[in-house]
A and B are shown apart, each in its own frame.
Chain A
Amino acid sequence: MAKKLLLQHVNVPGIETLEVYRQHGGYASVEKALKTMAPNDVVEEVKKSGLRGRGGAGFPTGMKWSFLAKPEGVARYLVCNADESEPGTFKDRYLMEKTPHSLIEGMITSSFALGARTSYIYIRGEYFYVSRILEKAIEEAYAAGYLGENILGSGFSHDCYVQVGGGAYICGEETALLESLEGKRGNPRIKPPFPAIAGLYGCPTVVNNVETIAAVCPIINMGGDEYAKIGIGRSTGTKLISASGHINKPGVYEIELGLPVEEFIYSEEYCGGIINGRQLKAVVPGGSSVPVLPAHLILKTDKGEPRLMSYESLSDGGFATGSMLGSGGFIVYDETTSIVKNLYTFARFYHHESCGQCSPCREGTGWMEKILHRIVEGHGKPSDIDLLWDVQRKIEGNTICPLGDAAAWPVAAAIRHFRAEFEEYINHPERIKDVKHYYSVHQLAEA
């Protein structure tokens, strides 16, 4: 049985209440940090642990924290990014729904480390019921004295608020999130300045993912060095993976980083193999924005080594033969999947979610969707593949925020690895017409 740090007690009845959570060792990190450690010691422990941001980019959290500007007399903020909108990712919802107190605990400990008097949890509008759960947990924490004035007699005071967003994908980008939190339209800011210098209300701010903040608790409890022993290389600790697609057991799994991808897909402990014994066709390993990889490249790297679930191994080979761990949205496609139709769905999503500030993303995402729509409908032209390739290349890297890259990468990867499928759509539209590419779960069960 693999080591579990975040989802250890999910199945304990009543774990969402403070009482049961405390019986299972909850709030130990708050007591340890506030009573025995200085704020800088907490930052040092997180640095030692090698924890990397779980939201997608994988930036070392300790380093991010140490970049926080600390001018005298200016408030600092911690903001938790719970605007989990990446297609294929649903780990934060599971964590907040099941053990809301682990997030609150992490918020208090992290705020203590950063010296933040106030923190915000920005949660997407679709998770309204989760925001209720969190608000209840915060209420309990106030009643038990973990939040409010002079927590546990340490002299540290802290307030935590939940803010529900309107449910826009772009508000998951940290500066757009801050704009939205300030009550403005959720448009990404132009960087620099980075939030660590001028973030929320112009004050130094740290924005972290839900899972990152929750992972601070075990780090403080067990010590940074001990945490760094879990995992492989620079990918330390455990990671929540949202597994979905054509697998027998979709769901959220906590894995130790460094687990072989093959074991993750086929072992009974995790995904349990491909549904109905079909063949694996491709995998998107980190949420819809990261490049798709065909079966032979996801199980083994280009060098022939087994591919592991870690930041380094999944990006081995660059984008030519690799992908990214991203936010851990592991989408598995079996052999009946149409990559072209799937890509059209993604392109439609990015077109819909583009904020409209900078021209390459605003115009390019719509253009890509229209071209893909034409191909899927069977009216594609032979030149469309090269045109798509060229459009995505001109979006990538030329935009204000990473949404442009996120829209471009899946298109590039699909063309790179599955060009033949695009050609079939364009050259033989009559064949595509009669093929049912998407099987529902029920159809598969009957077959």
Chain B
Amino acid sequence: MAKVTIDGHNIEVPDGTTILQAARMIVDSKGYEGENIAPPTMCYYSKLKTSGGYCRTCIVKVTKGSEKDPRPMPKPVASCRTTVMDGMEVVNITSPEVLEARKGVVEFLLINHPLDCPICDQAGECHLQDLGYEHGLAKTRYDFKRRTFNMIDIGPFIKLHMTRCIMCFRCIKVADQLTNHRYQGMIFRGDASEISTYISKAIDNDFSGNVIDVCPVGALTDKTFRFKSRVWFTKPMDAHRNCTKCCGKVAIWLKGNEVLRVTARKNRWGEVDEWICNECRFEKKDATDWVIEKPTHIDRHSVISANHYESLASLKLDIGKQQKQLNKK
């Protein structure tokens, strides 16, 4: 076991835990109060091995290495890939330096990202929107042409919109670890690099649809749902069916009695609980296919949850707070 302090919160975690996991454990034990001490992640995904370390949004500063070696680490570290040591002290939101560096990372992620949120299917549940809102600058200083790509079809159900991609590598890890053969990878390098299925080879696999769920932005979208509805106009419901291929536990997104799309259930960190198969995801689009359990609880303060199930009172409070802040400025 190792004792670790993050932003003044103490926790004891098993050896081999990463700083990010430790921070999430603190949040889990304390509830909403300390939610922002968990660093934001764009590329790390706890269910995918070797993910993380690329996007650099989760960087934190280690002010004390360990009990044995109390020297601070010279550079900010990626909390998702750095394991804790006994006696380690970490600063995240209490360090202006970390916040500044994170602002820089958000700016870098956004310079080539098209601001086409009004027509993007991911809007409303986009991690980059959250990140930009919470940690970014209000204005961009990038005044050059953004990079653009043509859209690519990956099989009959998935659309790849490379222009929106932020290179988190999650979909590559899914293709690597969930499917038998590796079909997906990165080609070219630097800011010209792109995700590609070699020579546009369609991913013909029962679990390929999970790349849509892991994509933090709108680069990989469900072709059966594209442009059907904004996510906040749909009602997510937990549902299940007997599936021979997967667990069959999903969230279905309803508009009236129509099932607009099916996704895996996600936890408070936006990560899926269990992978689902393509049959459940793309082919079962009838409400009678499913046994509906209850409305999905969406834990983060997203627009989706605010519209439906979270108490309106707290929402008003939030708006009041923001207005006060605006008036101050």
Contact = CB atoms under 8 A, between A and B. Distances in A.
A364 B59 CA distance: 17
Contacts of B167: 356-357, 359, 362
Nearest to B101: A398
Interface stretch (B186-194, B248-256, B285-293, B308-316): B186-194
A168 B54 CA distance: 20
Nearest to A353: B190
Interface string B159-198: 0000000110100000000000000011011111100000
A387 to B, nearest CB: 6
Contact of A398 (B76, B81, B111, B190): B76
Interface string A241-285: 000000000000000000000000000000000000000000000
A190 B53 contact: yes
A358 B105 CA distance: 10
Interface stretch (A73-81, A126-134, A292-300, A365-373): A365-373
The size class of the interface chain A forms with chain B is 20 to 34
A168 B75 CA distance: 26
Contacts of A185: 185-186
Contacts of B112: 363
Given A364-B108, A398-B101, A352 B54 contact: no
A237 B142 CA distance: 48
B141 interface: yes
A359 B186 contact: no
B56 interface: yes
B109 interface: yes
B56 A365 contact: no
A170 B193 CA distance: 14
Nearest to A373: B144
B211 interface: no
Taking each of B75, B191, B193, which has the highest tally of chain A beta carbons within 10 Å of its own beta carbon?
A: B191
A168 B105 CA distance: 25
A197 interface: no
Interface in A49-77: none
Q: Which DSSP category, helix, strand, loop or mixed, fits chain B's interface?
A: loop
Contacts of B56: 358-360, 398-399
B53 A358 contact: yes
Given A359-B109, A394-B105, A400 B54 contact: yes
Given A398-B59, A398-B105, A356 B189 contact: yes
Contacts of A366: 190-191
A130 B59 CA distance: 42
B6 interface: no
B277 interface: no
Nearest to B107: A394
B190 A355 contact: yes
A318 to B, nearest CB: 13
A397 interface: yes
Contact of A354 (B75, B166, B191): B191
Contact of B111 (A190, A363, A393): A363
B154 interface: no
Interface residues of B, number: 35
Contact of A359 (B55, B100, B185, B192): B55
A360 to B, nearest CB: 5
B78 interface: yes
A363 B54 contact: no
Contacts of A398: 56, 59, 75-76, 101, 104-105
Nearest to A357: B54
Contacts of B54: 357-359, 400
Contacts of B109: 359, 363
A398 B141 CA distance: 20
B51 to A, nearest CB: 10
Contact of A394 (B104, B169, B193): B104
Nearest to B147: A366
Interface in A196-237: none
Contacts of B75: 397-398
Contacts of A360: 56, 104-105, 108
Contacts of A397: 75-76, 101
A390 B142 CA distance: 12
Interface string A397-415: 1111000000000000000
Nearest to B194: A356
A367 B103 CA distance: 16
Interface string B42-57: 0000000000111111
A351 interface: yes
A168 B103 CA distance: 30
A387 B76 CA distance: 22
Interface string B191-235: 111000000000000000000000000000000000000000000
Nearest to A352: B190
Contact of B108 (A170, A355, A359, A400): A359
A354 B108 contact: no
Interface string B90-112: 00000000001101110111011
B53 A400 contact: yes
B186 A356 contact: yes
Interface in A100-149: none
B191 A394 contact: no
A363 B101 CA distance: 14
Contacts of A364: 108
Interface in A380-426: 387, 390, 393-395, 397-400
A309 B265 CA distance: 62
**Most chain B C-beta atoms within 10 Å of own C-beta, residue among A363, A364, A367, A387:** A363
A394 B78 CA distance: 15
A168 B169 CA distance: 21
B288 to A, nearest CB: 45
B78 A190 contact: yes
A426 to B, nearest CB: 15
A359 B56 CA distance: 7
24 contacts: A185-B185, A185-B186, A190-B81, A354-B189, A355-B193, A356-B186, A356-B189, A358-B54, A359-B55, A359-B57, A360-B105, A362-B108, A362-B193, A363-B109, A363-B112, A366-B190, A367-B111, A394-B107, A398-B56, A398-B59, A398-B75, A398-B76, A398-B101, A400-B53
Given A170-B189, A352-B190, A395-B104, 20 more contacts: A168-B189, A190-B81, A355-B193, A356-B189, A356-B191, A357-B54, A357-B167, A357-B169, A358-B54, A359-B105, A362-B167, A362-B193, A366-B191, A367-B111, A387-B141, A393-B104, A394-B105, A394-B107, A398-B56, A398-B104
Interface of B: 52-57, 59, 75-76, 78, 81, 100-101, 103-105, 107-109, 111-112, 141-142, 144, 166-167, 169, 185-186, 188-193
Across the A-B interface, give the 6 residue pairs with the lowest CB-CB distance, nearest first: A394-B104, A356-B193, A354-B190, A363-B108, A190-B53, A366-B191
